[in-house]
Amino acid sequence: MTERRPLAPATIAVTAGRPSGVGAPLNHPIVMASNFREGGEYTRTHGTETWAALEGAVGALEGGRAVAYASGMAAAAAIVFALSPKVVVVPSVSYMGVRTLLDEYRSTGQLEVRSVDITDTAAVAAAAVGADIVWVETPTNPTMDVADLPAIGAAAEASGARMVVDSTFATPLLQRPLEHGAAIVLHSGTKFIGGHSDLVIGLCVTADDEIHERLVRARTYQGATPGSLEAFLTLRGLRTLPVRLAAMERNAQVLVERLRNHPGVTDVRYPGTGAMMAFVVRGGADAADTVCGRVRILVPATSLGGVESTIERRQKYAGDSHVDPGLLRFSVGLEDVEDLWDDIAEALPS
């Protein structure tokens, strides 16, 4: 018999984590239970079929074993619990929630934080010496910088550090960090995986059994359990992630090219794939705020990855005060690209 080729990611997204057997439903139902009869099982410690289905599907896409949490930040906190670092290398431009979490540990003397430009691979490698974790975010939030995962993974391994990769913007479809030496991959499932701006959930994926056990213990003892409905909706969102992301990416590539040629835009940052971009409006903060106030189809909102396009000026937040004042983070949605362009073009300074 001819050996079958490996399943494509689009097929895995649709098929993984489904019930099997005659008479089984096509999808695991929402298990709304805190405990179960006679077996001593309790949801916080043993989970539910709904969690397991989501974890199985995300793990299959990433090439590891997934653990679901109440939020992306709960997943980030679980990583710190699981790996117990003393020294963490972190991108100087990255999600401010994670940087704030690490800074809280730093301020109480529990760990040392080394901030680096994640695009400067040599600097990352130097900072990795003596570190326990090299925390990579790629593309970065909100400036869309791209890290050299294979090189950083090799540098981390050579230094005895573990590489953690926040792959929220890339999703499991555009990069698989475990293949480049990552110990843990982090996703805010709130964003592209869930995809409909109606839930909050986080996910960690690892190929290391010991780390997986530590991640489960972090969820159990910190109580960062995902809701049953949220887990169900996240898995349902995952089923359409390939087609959503492909359509969003097509829109993004058209808009990137047009923004690069618009006189009201001084810089466009796009990694070449995916649905996230950032652009800098000529005129700085006031001009960028005016754009956000003028758009009618794009939604000024702080989250991303949903079917609707969202836009936000990030420098207004203290945690992102170091980025360009006129930078707008843009999560491209599924609307008609010409409608999106008309909306942006009318809002931009001429």
Per residue in 223-248, pLDDT (tens digit) is 999 999 999 999 999 999 999 999 99
Give dist(CA 175, CA 243) in Å, integer. Answer: 16
From 239, 265, 293, give the residue that closes a domain.
239
Query: Do 141 and 51 belong to one domain?
Result: yes
SS3 125: helix
Residue 4 in any domain: the answer is no
Number of domains, the chain: 2
Token pair for 307: 């079917």
Give dist(CA 119, CA 219) in Å, integer. Answer: 32
Give dist(CA 169, CA 123) in Å, integer. Answer: 23
| pTM recorded for the entire structure | 0.96
Share of the chain above pLDDT 70, in %: 100
Say which range, 26-40, 242-256, 284-298, 307-321, has the weakest mean pLDDT: 26-40
Query: Given this model, what pLDDT does residue 1 score?
Result: 65
From 188, 213, 239, give the residue that closes a domain.
239
Query: Do 254 and 232 belong to one domain?
Result: no
Quick check: 253 pLDDT over 90? yes
Residue 3 in any domain: the answer is no
- Of 239, 231, 173, 167, nearest in space to 205 by CA: 167
Query: Do 247 and 317 belong to one domain?
Result: yes
Q: Which pLDDT band holds residue 329 (cuts at 50, 70, 90)?
A: very high
Judged on CB neighbours under 10 Å (0-12, 13-18, 19+), 11 is: exposed
Query: Do 204 and 62 belong to one domain?
Result: yes
